[in-house]
Structure 1
Amino acid sequence: MNTLTKILLSSTVGALIGASVVWLLNSPNDSETTAAGGDRKPLYWVAPMDPNYKRDKPGKSPMGMDLIPVYEDGADEAGTIKISPEVINNLGVRTAKVQRGQLDLQVNTVGYVQYDENQLVHVSPRVEGWIERLYTKAAGDPVVQGEPLFALYSPTLVNAQEELLLALKRNNRVLIDAATERLLALQLAKEDIEKLKKTLKVSRTITINSPQSGVVDNLAVREGMYVKPGMSLMSIGKLEHIWIIGEVFERQASLIGEGDPVTVRLDYVPGREWQGKIDYVYPSLDTQTRTAQIRVGLPNPDVVLKPGMFAQLFIETQSEAEALLIPREALIRTGSQSRVVLALGEGKFKSIAVTVGRIAEQQVEILTGLNEGEHIVTSAQFLIDSESSKTSDFLRMTQYEQESDEHNYNAEPANLKQPVWVAARIVGVMAEHRMLSLEHEAIPEWQWPAMTMDFFVADAVDMDELKQGMHLHVQIINNNNGEYQISLVHIPDDQGNENMPTEMDHGDMSMPEHREQRGMNHGEHDQKEHNHD
């Protein structure tokens, strides 16, 4: 026997001995099995590499491995992970209790100071003419009630004055009253009319006075300009009372209402606050910013608040009814789902989906998915979720459902023979074998979770159109021989907008070896049996 033969023989013997030791360590002895069987009856048997492959008696998995018994105290829900106390401490995992109470809401937003529109007066001419003289030169100039704003030359006003003089000359009381009313309607002051009656001299221009005291805004006229009725020449606003128009995001609009207290702060006056209430909530949203507007009226006796200033608004509101509340930091939000990590005790955790209601600064209202008194993870939950979400169904199992599962663990899906449609992404194309490796969504009709597996493709499907990375919808059928086959394919027109489910996002994090094994669960095993036959 030469040296090479001795080496090969030694290696073979060593491998056999090692395999025997591993088998002995992993297989329970007869006494242990008997004792366990006498105390506990297995709920079902499961494949070591595929927890979704369950049977009601011992046997082989699709990969040829012995099925493992699952007992009542070891039957964790899908997606449940267990972490040792040392790892929990190192990760800094913290939990909080789900509580019921009133949601303390504070909506923080911004706003702008503007004139009180109820006290804003617009100045417009009632006759056509030309601006002979402008007494107010710029926007922002203060004016006093009765102070002249501009002098207007108008042929219409000149004619109206002459009509009054003619009526006075004839001493016709009816014509005098009619001419006087016309001059008043054309915005001529009573003082000017009385002066005209005394002097009997027509004024070439008339002076328009300020209707109220305030500040000129939106000055849109200059000397020499031709004006006519309907033109807004300027506005006069008061500063003793102002409005603050705030903007609230669409999702926050339901949290606020008229009468809610508001605290106003301005960078212009650090350390000073104004207290007010929401006077009005505007009925429509801004289509550009998707915000709703609110109005807060504030007294401004010292004229510190000036139109155009930027303000910070803190709106205090509180819900009347109690709600189920969790800390805001515990909520995990993805593009298509909201979920939390539930602490099950004994180092076990699971990601579950929740329905979110109102969101405050510190708390979140939970509509469905949690019960009062349960504990959720508030720190390091993203690390735990990244692991749990790989296999989690994100569903809560109530006590009734648990008991129902234990009594019906051996039941197969009633519609397993019916074809199903599911959204999927092509992971690999094996054209020579007419097979596809798909990463597909969960199939509730067949009680399949989202996973990656291989499928045979029917002859009627054109393989040339199928490329790796493509998002599509496929119809899967279960043949009589147990083979799962893609019978129909639908390719969306715009694949860029196709969103894969959240479960599949985490599926990308799985090891390639694991995805390959999952893909062999049905397709590869059936192919091997077919080739063997």
Structure 2
Amino acid sequence: MIKYAGFIIILLFGIGLGLWIGQQRVAKTQANVGLNERKPLYYRHPMNPKITSPTPAKDEMGMDYLPVYAEDQNLPEAKPKSGRILYYRHPMGAPDTSPGPKKDEMGMDYVPVYETEPEPSGQIRISPEKIQKLGVTTETVAKRTLTRSIRALGSIQADERRVHAVTLKFEGWIQHLYVNATGQAVKRGQPLLEIYSPELVTAQQEYLIARQGKQALRQASAQARGTAEQLAENALQRLHYWDIAPAQLQHLQTLEKPLDTLPLTAPVNGVVLEKPAVEGMRFMPGELLFRIADLSTVWLLADVFEQDIGGVRQGQAVQVHIDAYPERLFSGKVDFIYPTLATATRTVQVRIELPNDKGLLKPGLYGSVALAAPAEKDARLAVPDSAVIDSGTRRIVLLQRSEGRFEPHAVKLGRQADGYREVLEGLEAGDEVVTRANFLIDAESNLKSALDSFGGYDADASQAVPEAQPGGR
């Protein structure tokens, strides 16, 4: 009897277990059938929920429309955001914002950013106390007439066209030296030295003989008179070719006797740059005795960098500061632009002509040059040089989105002029850019981006000192 009772219990347990397993399979089958029967109500635009389609579709960028199911319609509505709107950001996440409502290039509305929302990626918020401590200053981006100034360094040189070499065309000796020091100022016609030359004495005698023969043959035939006149003319012309002054020739004709020595006079007003002549020395034809420079006008040879040479024009007005006279300003003009570039310094030499009536500009003095390039006809959008952070691969500025909120922004820049850079792309008139302490803000922005990649960043919490926990290390 006990054996049958045990068998009946085992049988009933097996039947109950079988029924339970069957019910589980039926429930799973029904769930799968319900899941397979779940159908979307419609399909919506992946970026703009207001655009829908009854069938699957793709947007203009090739993205699939998202299905919307019946249970999605019963989700609780998001709590509307409140607070003051700081600005409007691009709906696609592009680094573009607007102070007022705006639509993007696809017609989508810009998304408002509220005061209570967390900072968007790339932006950083700094407290007013920290802004004051850093000394942050900003400037409004505006259009300006860019006047570019080109600056260069150079040195004073003698005008090569006013340098004269004093030489003689015959052999002789220096009997007496009147100008015997380098740097001495001389006047045109002033005697420089007294010379003796056997060749010169012989040439004078030949002239006097020819002149006397001409006078003796006054009553002779026309052919004889012509020959005598030709000999006298040739002898006189020879003395002219030797640069004998007309006054000395007149003296020779008056005395009718050769001069043992003749003075050599200065050809121009100027300063003696070189004086190889020494009293008593013998000189040969063409040997340099003096080098005299007229310094009433001098050159300043300035080295202009190749990126600035396009703004230099011949005849352009120039302002020159000479180190020796810091209180004076000299004016000149561009006389010549040399046709070659110095590859070692990447500069082109520019010759500037300066008047030197008072003799203050001495060869060898250093000076700085300021050339005013032609101003642009139209005003152009520009930012201060100090606002630009140049990493070598890109140029960025820090935009002030609102009080205490900053964001790095890439820009494309043009020419540079007197502390400002032309903005070709990336900014609009009225934007506020940081002009001081921008490197510090940019460093903090980079730190924020780095910490964001590790799971978030709280500017206020990052500056707080964590409290010690009991038993902690």
> TM over 0.5, yes or no?
yes
What amino acid is aligned across from residue 331 of structure 1 in structure 2? V
Q: Does 1:102 align with 2:142?
A: no
Q: Does 1:294 align with 2:350?
A: yes
Q: TM-score, normalised by structure 1?
A: 0.53
Aligned partner of 1:83 among 107, 124, 128:
124
Change (3 A) 1:186 1:92: same
Change (3 A) 1:220 1:302: same
Report if the CA contact (8 A) 1:262-1:276 is conserved. Answer: yes
Report if the CA contact (8 A) 1:344-1:350 is conserved. Answer: no
**Cross-structure match for 2:469:** none
**Cross-structure match for 2:24:** none
Report if the CA contact (8 A) 2:332-2:355 is conserved. Answer: no
Query: Any residues of structure 2 matched to 1:491-506 within 5 Å, and which?
Result: none
**Cross-structure match for 2:234:** 178
Report if the CA contact (8 A) 2:320-2:368 is conserved. Answer: yes
Shift of 1:388: 6.3
Query: Any residues of structure 2 matched to 1:27-176 within 5 Å, and which?
Result: 41=46, 73=91, 75-77=93-95, 81-86=122-127, 89=131, 91-171=134-214, 172-176=228-232
Query: Any residues of structure 2 matched to 1:456-495 within 5 Å, and which?
Result: none
Aligned partner of 1:209 among 262, 265, 268:
265
The superposition leaves residues 420-443 of structure 1 with CA deviations (integer Å, 9 ceiling, x where unpaired) of xxxxxxxxxxxxxxxxxxxxxxxx
Aligned partner of 1:350 among 408, 413, 426:
408
Q: Distance in 1 between matches of 2:381 and 2:156?
A: 38
Report if the CA contact (8 A) 1:99-1:326 is conserved. Answer: yes
Shift of 1:177: 0.7
For structure 2, the 5+ residue unaligned runs are 1-42, 49-62, 67-88, 97-119, 215-227, 455-473
Shift of 1:342: 4.7
Shift of 1:387: 6.5
The superposition leaves residues 74-115 of structure 1 with CA deviations (integer Å, 9 ceiling, x where unpaired) of 724599611114277364444333333321233343333343
Shift of 1:226: 4.6
Q: Does 1:254 align with 2:316?
A: no
Aligned partner of 1:317 among 369, 373, 378:
373
Q: Distance in 2 between matches of 1:201 and 1:389?
A: 99
Change (3 A) 1:153 1:96: same
Shift of 1:209: 0.6
Q: Distance in 2 between matches of 1:264 and 1:189?
A: 41
Report if the CA contact (8 A) 2:156-2:366 is conserved. Answer: yes
Shift of 1:211: 1.3
Change (3 A) 1:279 1:225: same
The superposition leaves residues 294-345 of structure 1 with CA deviations (integer Å, 9 ceiling, x where unpaired) of 344344443333333333433333423333322111223344x351225273
The superposition leaves residues 474-521 of structure 1 with CA deviations (integer Å, 9 ceiling, x where unpaired) of xxxxxxxxxxxxxxxxxxxxxxxxxxxxxxxxxxxx79x98xxxxxxx
The superposition leaves residues 222-265 of structure 1 with CA deviations (integer Å, 9 ceiling, x where unpaired) of 33445444444323233444443333333322233334433334
SS of residue matched to 2:309:
helix
Q: TM-score, normalised by structure 2?
A: 0.59
SS of residue matched to 2:168:
coil
Change (3 A) 1:233 1:80: farther
SS of residue matched to 1:303:
coil
Report if the CA contact (8 A) 1:103-1:318 is conserved. Answer: no
**Cross-structure match for 1:377:** 434
Report if the CA contact (8 A) 2:411-2:423 is conserved. Answer: no
Shift of 1:279: 3.8
Q: Distance in 1 between matches of 2:289 and 2:346?
A: 33
What amino acid is aligned across from residue 434 of structure 2 in structure 1? V
The superposition leaves residues 279-298 of structure 1 with CA deviations (integer Å, 9 ceiling, x where unpaired) of 44344344444333334434
Aligned partner of 2:277 among 212, 215, 221:
221
What amino acid is aligned across from residue 354 of structure 1 in structure 2? K
Shift of 1:136: 1.4
Identity of aligned residues (%): 33
Query: Any residues of structure 2 matched to 1:266-281 within 5 Å, and which?
Result: 266-281=322-337
Q: Distance in 2 between matches of 1:344 and 1:273?
A: 42
Of structures 1 and 2, the one with the larger relative CO (CA 8 A, separation 6+) is 2
Deviates more, 1:236-245 or 1:138-147: 236-245
SS of residue matched to 2:373:
strand
What amino acid is aligned across from residue 176 of structure 1 in structure 2? A
Q: Distance in 1 between matches of 2:445 and 2:200?
A: 85
What amino acid is aligned across from residue 333 of structure 1 in structure 2? D
Report if the CA contact (8 A) 2:159-2:299 is conserved. Answer: yes
What amino acid is aligned across from residue 84 of structure 1 in structure 2? R
Matched residues, number: 336
